[in-house]
Amino acid sequence: MNDQLQIADEVISAIHQVMGLKPIALHEPSFNGNEWLYLKECLDSTFVSSVGKFVDRFEVDLAEFTGAKHSVAVVNGTAALHIALKVAGVKTGDEVIMPALTFVAQANAVTYCNATPHFVDSEKHSLGIDTSKLRDYLINFTEQRSNKCLNKSTGRVIRALVPMHTFGHPADIDGLLSIAKDFNIILLEDASESLGSYYNGRHTGTFGRLGTLSFNGNKTITTGGGGAILTDNTDLAKYAKHLTTTAKLPHAWEYRHDEIGYNYRMPNINAALGCAQLEQLPLILANKRNLFEKYKKAFASVKGINLVTEPNQCRSNYWLQTLLLEESQAEQRDSILKATNDKGLMTRPAWSLMHELAPFHDCPRMDLSEAESISKRLINIPSSA
Amino acid sequence: MNDQLQIADEVISAIHQVMGLKPIALHEPSFNGNEWLYLKECLDSTFVSSVGKFVDRFEVDLAEFTGAKHSVAVVNGTAALHIALKVAGVKTGDEVIMPALTFVAQANAVTYCNATPHFVDSEKHSLGIDTSKLRDYLINFTEQRSNKCLNKSTGRVIRALVPMHTFGHPADIDGLLSIAKDFNIILLEDASESLGSYYNGRHTGTFGRLGTLSFNGNKTITTGGGGAILTDNTDLAKYAKHLTTTAKLPHAWEYRHDEIGYNYRMPNINAALGCAQLEQLPLILANKRNLFEKYKKAFASVKGINLVTEPNQCRSNYWLQTLLLEESQAEQRDSILKATNDKGLMTRPAWSLMHELAPFHDCPRMDLSEAESISKRLINIPSSA
């Protein structure tokens, strides 16, 4: 009990040292640029809804920032995942590989396509999919038939592989790309948390056939609610735009829709906020990196706790600063969470692992021992830029 | 050809008489109240996303305005329909009755539940479901089994009945309520177009088990993109809120979700706009009624065209002003649409009927001769408040 109090006190002290003594949120947005100017301009134009110059500009700006050829702005990151899966060809009865250690939106979006999530293990340094373990697993448990990857035990096609760049740290993209190629699985990157994160100098979300972003209020930049789909493929970008705008065929006045569509377009007023936020992104990223350096110093002397650092050859956005307790300290996670939150310092554990949630209990999965270990030892600490 | 030119010219002249000579949109929002103030306040608070005081207030204000006990604010009208269907119990394999003359969101939302739309005919005055024809149809083509309504030809359960209050004109709600009761079908009202419309003095969307609203940019009031679910049932309201917020269980820091959920919560920044717009609604409704009176005068002398008027015992919001050509003039619809749009006066026909759209070709339907007749003769004309 004394040990527990001691380590929790040390965590509180380290956070206080970096953030000051006041209560502090896990992550808050900052609006220090043209946010109000653009919102006002948008309102004055009366184009606040699904058509307008800000939504077009936001898409151009996002493509420019990330280096993707195309971006399609949508209402949120979940919608981006849903449509990316659809346009990539995920169909009823397919399986989609994703980490067990992820946010529930990924698994939900797969079920919206009437497909089944298939959970795989994480790698302890990047917190992303363990590609070496995944390759062995696929060799043993799948077979190729007509250039498709079949799950031998369920007989279903494994259509897509959706890594996440957890808390902004890029997953092993080279490993993922080579698995996608060798096993005929489509790579879609969930870059919801990694706007401003780079792998070998290239922006995350631009390696897979499509990538997705999120601009929820807790993200690096926000549009209130929002997301985007990134792709270099012009046909897929057009198709994503079509599906997100009720699949309406272009016509001056007719209302014809050629397939089941969605009302997923980002409203212009949310895009106005996004344009201003994107201008601030370089500064926000610099501040978040600076925060990491401060935490690094503050936690240097705290024994049994490691601050998660960007993987080799990667530049992380440090969206959420992350502590990993050593195995010997794992039992102290809850007392640290309680003590910090009681002090008004918002901290949180990893998400519940996907296979532990009722709706996904029966989904296929590999051995998940590393994800289980990480999830018991992980704490996110206040991370505002 | 001379006749065609003549009637198109008369329509243009009548619109000019009411709206002036400048080009004019079909429907534009007006921001003459506290829109700026609330947006700025929302931005300054930094609570722009899924939590915040405006989204709570907007829900309270909506409930108060409509007289519903509860309202749940969501990202758009399609999401409202989807969740209303879910919480009402629409399941995979069910059928849902809706008009063929409607916006595609209704049919899409039913397919999101893996259910099948079943299209029924419209009544020529209200433009809503023809309840007398529907009753005869249900008597002949369905049977009751264990208090469920079975479609005799498909063997599927007809779970719900979703009328729309077309262009703001209330459908025959008494007739619908009695069908719902007699045939054990759940009534859900699509009130997307009828905020501010009343049936026997009571607000549309509050008669069914649930009702849905839309605040898209072209609606009577707008939140950029937005919608809401109305219900008097506290359990259903709670369930709707749960499903629209990723089905996350309340906890200070844990991320647990007990079923497949959705990211459908209305962002606070959109709700800020909504709060200001709702304050303006009485004025907007008065202006729209006034516009109807002006059009009534202007079109009084145009032969072969009738302006759609609110049904008996109803008060319509007159969201979109609507012309119905007499049968003898039906062939002139396209030349009127072309002539008005060429002059910069935005007009539009009815939506393509649902059963004429590729994704819904094979859905069950009754004889749709009135809907077909209406859709060939209908033109919406500029309707901004």
Specify the pLDDT at position B50: 85
Q: Are the Cβ atoms of B43 and A40 closer than 8 angstroms?
A: no
**Which SS3 state, helix, strand or coil, does residue A264 take?**
coil
Query: What is the structure's pLDDT at B379?
Result: 98
Smallest CA-to-CA distance from B285 within B226, B192, B220 is with: B220
Tokens of residue B279, six digits? 């304050």
- CA separation for the pair A294, B326 (Å, rounded): 76
Which residue among A218, A259, A273 places its CB closest to the CB of B269? A273
Distance (Å, whole) CA B107 – CA B122: 16
d(CA B212, CA B229): 5
Q: Angle at Cα B200 formed by Cα B235 and Cα B123, nearest 5°?
A: 95
ipTM of the complex: 0.95
Residues β-bridged to residue B306: B324
Do residue B47 and residue A262 have CB atoms under 8 angstroms apart?
no
Rounded to the nearest angstrom, the minimum Cα separation between B130 and chain A is: 23
Helix/strand number for chain B, H first, E second: 11, 16
**Which among A43, A259, A337 has the least Cβ separation from residue B39?**
A43
Which residues of chain B lie closer than 8 angstroms to A266, CB-CB? 225
Q: What H or E segment, with its residue span, contains residue B84?
A: helix B77-88
Q: Pseudo-torsion of CA A7, A11, A13, A19, nearest 10°? A: 180
Q: Which of B31, B35, B348 sits opposite A253 (nearest CB)?
A: B348
Q: Tell me the pLDDT band of A3, cut-offs 50, 70 and 90.
A: low
The pLDDT value recorded for residue A172 is 98
Confidence category of residue B5, pLDDT binned at 50, 70, 90: low
The strands making up B210-214's β-sheet, listed across from edge to edge, are B70-74, B227-231, B210-214, B186-190, B158-161, B95-99, B116-120
Is the Cβ pair B108, A254 closer than 8 Å? no
**C-beta neighbour count of A13 within 10 angstroms:** 12
Contact A51 B217 (CB under 8 A): yes
B65 touches chain A (CB under 8 A): no
Domains of chain B: 2-29+281-349 (no CATH), 35-279 (3.40.640.10)
Crossing angle of the two packed helices B131-141 and B173-183, in degrees rounded to 10: 10
Cα of B35 to nearest chain A Cα, Å: 8
Per-residue model confidence as pLDDT tens digits over A123-154: 999 999 999 999 999 999 999 999 999 999 99
Are the C-beta atoms of B221 and B242 separated by less than 8 Å? no
Q: Tell me the pLDDT band of B2, cut-offs 50, 70 and 90.
A: low
Within A200-271, strands assigned E span 202-203, 210-214, 227-231
Answer yes or no: pTM beyond 0.95.
Answer: yes
Q: Number of A:B CB contacts under 8 A?
A: 182
- B347–A contact, CB cutoff 8 A: yes
Instruction: Mark yes or no for CB contact B111/A341 under 8 Å.
Output: no
Query: Is residue A298 very low, low, confident or very high in pLDDT (cuts 50, 70, 90)?
Result: very high
pLDDT tens-digit map of B178-212: 999 999 999 999 999 999 999 999 999 999 999 99
Q: Which of residues 72-91 of B touch A (CB under 8 A)?
A: 75-79
Q: Taking residues A192-196, report their average pLDDT.
A: 98
Q: Pick left, alpha or beta for residue A314 (phi over 0 → left; psi -120 to 50 → alpha; otherwise beta).
A: beta
pLDDT reported for residue A253: 85
User: Which site among B24, B102, B255 would you substitute to test the A interface, given the most A Cβ atoms closer than 10 Å to its Cβ?
Assistant: B255
Lowest mean pLDDT of A243-252, B152-161, B312-321, name the range: A243-252
Across the interface, do B225 and A263 touch by the CB < 8 Å criterion?
yes
Is the pLDDT reported for residue B1 higher than 60?
Answer: no
Cβ contact A104–B29 (<8 Å): no
CA angle B80, B82, B83 (to 5 degrees): 70
Query: CB–CB of A49 and B217 under 8 A?
Result: yes
- Give B77-109 pLDDT, tens digit per residue: 999 999 999 999 999 999 999 999 999 999 999
Q: Kindly determine whether residue A352 and residue B268, on different chains, have CB atoms separated by under 8 Å.
A: no
Chain B residues 167-206 with a CB less than 8 Å from chain A: none
Residue A1 reports pLDDT greater than 60: no
For residues B109 and B214, what is the distance between their CA atoms, to the nearest angstrom?
14
Encode pLDDT of A324-383 as tens digits.
999 999 999 999 999 999 999 999 999 999 999 999 999 999 999 999 999 999 999 999
SS (H, E, C) B100-157: CCCCHHHHHHHHHCCCEEEEECECCCCCCECHHHHHHHHHHHEEEECCEEEECCCCCE
**Cβ-nearest to A29 among B48, B225, B350:** B48
| Distance between CA atoms of residues A211 and A154, nearest Å | 27
Structure tokens at A178: 């080579």
Chain A: closest CA distance from residue B272 (Å): 11
Residue (of B291, B309, B307) closest to B299 by Cα position? B307
Mean pLDDT computed over B326-338:
95
pLDDT tens readout for residues B343-383 = 999 999 999 999 999 999 999 999 999 999 999 999 999 99
Across chain B, what does the average pLDDT equal? Answer: 96
The dihedral built from the CA positions of residue B228, B232, B235 and B236, taken in this order, carries a sign that is: negative
- Measure CB to CB from residue A341 to each of B105, B252, B266 and give the nearest one: B252
Chain A touched by B38 (CB under 8 Å): no
Q: Which of A254, A260, A357 sits opposite B359 (nearest CB)?
A: A260
Secondary structure class of B213 (helix, strand, coil): strand
A198-199 sheet: strands from edge to edge = A202-203, A198-199, A314-315
Nearest to A256 among B50, B78, B357 (CB): B357
Judged by CB atoms closer than 8 Å, whether chains meet at A225 and B267 is answered as yes
pLDDT confidence of residue A385: 86
Residue A225 CA: distances (Å) to CA of A78, A216, B279: 10, 5, 24
The pLDDT assigned to A102 comes to 98
Find the closest chain B residue to A245 by CA distance: B105
pLDDT of residue A146: 96
The answer to whether the CB of A368 falls within 8 A of the CB of A100 is yes
Interface test with B, best of A39, A40, A48 (most B CBs within 10 A): A48
pLDDT at position B252: 82
Q: Which residue in B has a C-alpha nearest to residue A337's C-alpha?
A: B253
Q: Which of A106, A255, A280, A355 to mutate to test the interface with B (most CBs of B within 10 A)?
A: A255
**% of chain B surpassing 90 pLDDT:** 96
Distance CA(B325)–CA(B333), nearest Å, equals 8
Chain B residues within 8 A of A217 when measuring between CB atoms: 47-51, 267
pLDDT value at position A131? 98
- Cross-chain Cβ contact A246/B349 below 8 Å: no
User: Cβ-count burial of B304 within 10 angstroms (0-12 exposed, 13-18 middle, 19+ buried)?
Assistant: middle
Q: B114 — contact with chain A (CB < 8 Å)?
A: yes
